[in-house]
Structure 1
Amino acid sequence: MKNEVILSHTDHRPFPLPHGPWLMKQGWNDVLCAHWPVSENVLRPLIPDGLELEKHDGSAWLTVIPFRLSPLRLRGLPPIPFVQDFLELNVRTYVSRKGKPGIYFFNLEASNSLAVKGARTFAHLPYHHARMSIRRDHDSYLHYTSMRSLPQAEDPVFIGSYKPVNNTLFHAEPGSLVHWLTERYCLFTTTSKGKILTGDIHHFPWPLQEVQLQLTTNQLTQYHGFELQGPPAFATYTRRLEALFWPLRKC
C-alpha cells in the first residue's frame, strides 16, 4: 500500500499524527492477538516509573502476538538485506504517559539476530533472538513455535496453531474492549538509565477476523516471574497490516 494512502487515513486515531517524517515501515502478516486479563498486582511492579498501567473495567490486560514481519524498510530505502522477512512474537501490556495511551513490551522475540541487535541498540526494546518456525497445513492452520536461543533452552516457550474462522472482516467498535486493546498508536520503552522514550505508530484500523486457536505452550511470561493460566479470554486474526514508525523521542 502506498504510504500516502496510509497517511491520509487518520480519523480513527486518538491523537494527531506526530510532526516530522516517519522513519520505518513494517508489514505485519498472519497476526494472532491473544488477550488475557491479568491482576494489576502482578503487572504493576513490572511497569517502569513514569508509566501508568491502564485497566479496562477494572482489569489489566496482557497480549501475546505471533506474526511474520515482511517487509521491513527504512524511509527512502529498499528492504534491508537479511532483515526484511522474519518471525516475531511479542508480549505486551497497556499503559499511558501524561494521558497518552500506548503499549509497553515485556518481551519481543525475533528469528533474525541482526534485527534483534538493531532493535536493542537503537530502539531500547527488550528483543531476544529465538529459534522460530511457522507453517501452514492442509486445513489452513498456521503452526507457530518459538524457543529462546540460549544454551540452557531445551523446550519451546510458545507453541500455538491458529486460523481465521471465515473471511468476514470487522473493525473494533469504539469504546469496546477490543478497540481499547488493538487501536494503540504509540509504544513506550526506557533507556538503560531509566529515561522514558516514546515512538509513534500509524496504520489503518485493524482488519480483524474471528480465529480458532489451539494453544499448547505459552510460557513467555515466566521470564518475569509469572505464567498465564488457561486459554485467552478472546483472540483475533489479521491477515496483513502495514504500519509506519516515527523515531523514538523523550517524553
Structure 2
Amino acid sequence: MYKDIVNSTQHRKSPLPEGQWLMAQKWDHLLFMHLPVPPEIMKRQLPKGLDLDTYDGVAWLTIIPFRISDMRFRNMPPIPFLHSFLELNVRTYVCRNGIPGVYFFNLEADKLLAVLGARLASLPYFHAKMKMRETNGTFHYSSIRKGNSNIMFLGSYHPIFEAYYPKERSLPYWLLERYYLWTSRNNSLFLGGIHHKQWKIHDAKADIVKQNMANFLPDIVLNEKRLFHYAVTCRALFWPIKKVD
C-alpha cells in the first residue's frame, strides 16, 4: 500500500522529500473551506522567508476539519491511544525558493498527547473539544478551543455531484496539490514534506454556523463567497520536520 503511494508521483509539481518517510496517517471526511483574501492582508500574516502564493492575483485561506485514523510510524503498528483523533487546520498558500506549499497558522486536535507531540515538532497545535457525527450523508462538526472558547468552528457539510480529479492549472488543483508545509516558531522557519496520491474530490455544500479560526481577517473577507470541497479519504506519508537555515 505505502509503496504504491510513494510510486504515484505524476501529479506532483515538486520532488519527493529526501530520505525515507517517517509517519503515515489516514484522513477521512475532509471539508475544504476556501476563503478568498486580498493579498495585502495575507502578506502581513506571513513570517520572513516565505512568499505569498496567489491564483489570478487572489490569496486564499483554507479551513479543514476532518478525522485522522490509522496513524503509525514507519514499519510500526498504529500508535496506541493516538491512532485516531479529530483535527482541524487553518492554512494559506506560499512559496519558498520556487517550491509551492502551505503555511499553517494553527491546528486543532482533540487528543492532548497528539497536541503535545506535534508542538515538539514545531507545529502550532492547540487542544480543542471536538465532535464529528454523520447523519444521512451530512457531517456535523464542532471544534471549540480549550482555554479560549471564543475560537471555534461549528458547521455541517456534505458532498454534491460526482467525484472528480481536479484538472491541472485549475483553482482546485492549485489549492489542493501541495506537498510541503511550513510553520514558524521563535523567528525560525520549519519545513515538512508529505506525499499522497492525487486528491479525488467532490464539490460540497456547507452550512457554517460560526467560525473564527482566523480572527485576523476582517469581516469583509469572512463574508466573501466561499468555495467548498469534500474528500472521502486519503492516506498521507510524512517526512521529518526540519529547521530551515
TM class, shorter-chain normalised?
Answer: over 0.9
Preserved contact between residue 105 and residue 183 of structure 2 (Cα < 8 Å): no
Q: Quote how far apart the aligned CAs of 1:165 are.
A: 1.6
Preserved contact between residue 73 and residue 79 of structure 1 (Cα < 8 Å): yes
CA 1:241–1:36 in structure 2 vs 1: closer, same or farther (change >3 Å)?
same
Runs of 4+ in 1 over 2 A off after TM superposition: 224-228, 230-233
How many residues align? The count is 243
The aligned counterpart of 1:11 is: 10
Preserved contact between residue 23 and residue 247 of structure 1 (Cα < 8 Å): yes
The amino acid that maps onto 1:182 is L
Within the candidate set 148, 157, 170, 1:162 is matched to 157
Q: Quote how far apart the aligned CAs of 1:169 are.
A: 1.6
Distance 1:226 1:54 in 2: 20
The aligned counterpart of 1:107 is: 106
The aligned counterpart of 2:233 is: 240
The aligned counterpart of 1:209 is: 202
The aligned counterpart of 2:87 is: 88
The amino acid that maps onto 1:209 is H
Preserved contact between residue 51 and residue 96 of structure 1 (Cα < 8 Å): yes
Question: If the length of structure 2 is used for normalisation, what is the TM-score?
Answer: 0.94
1:141 paired to 2:138: yes
SS of residue paired to 2:115: helix
Q: Quote how far apart the aligned CAs of 1:225 are.
A: 5.9
Distance 2:213 2:18 in 1: 36
Preserved contact between residue 151 and residue 213 of structure 2 (Cα < 8 Å): no
Instruction: Give 1:171-190 correspondences, 5 Å limit.
Output: 171-190=165-184
CA 1:232–1:118 in structure 2 vs 1: closer, same or farther (change >3 Å)?
farther
Listed one character per residue, the Cα deviations across residues 66-119 of structure 1 (whole Å, up to 9, x for unaligned) are 000112111121111111111011110000111110000111010111000000
Q: Which runs of 5+ in 2 are unaligned?
A: none
Instruction: Give 1:217-228 correspondences, 5 Å limit.
Output: 217-222=210-215, 224=216, 226=218, 228=221
Listed one character per residue, the Cα deviations across residues 94-152 of structure 1 (whole Å, up to 9, x for unaligned) are 00111110000111010111000000112x11100000001112x321100110111x5
Within the candidate set 117, 129, 132, 2:127 is matched to 129
Q: Quote how far apart the aligned CAs of 1:231 are.
A: 6.3
Distance 2:212 2:60 in 1: 16
Question: If the length of structure 1 is used for normalisation, what is the TM-score?
Answer: 0.92
SS of residue paired to 2:71: strand
The amino acid that maps onto 2:44 is P
SS of residue paired to 1:204: coil
RMSD across aligned positions (CA): 1.5
Q: Quote how far apart the aligned CAs of 1:156 are.
A: 6.3
Larger relative strand fraction: 2
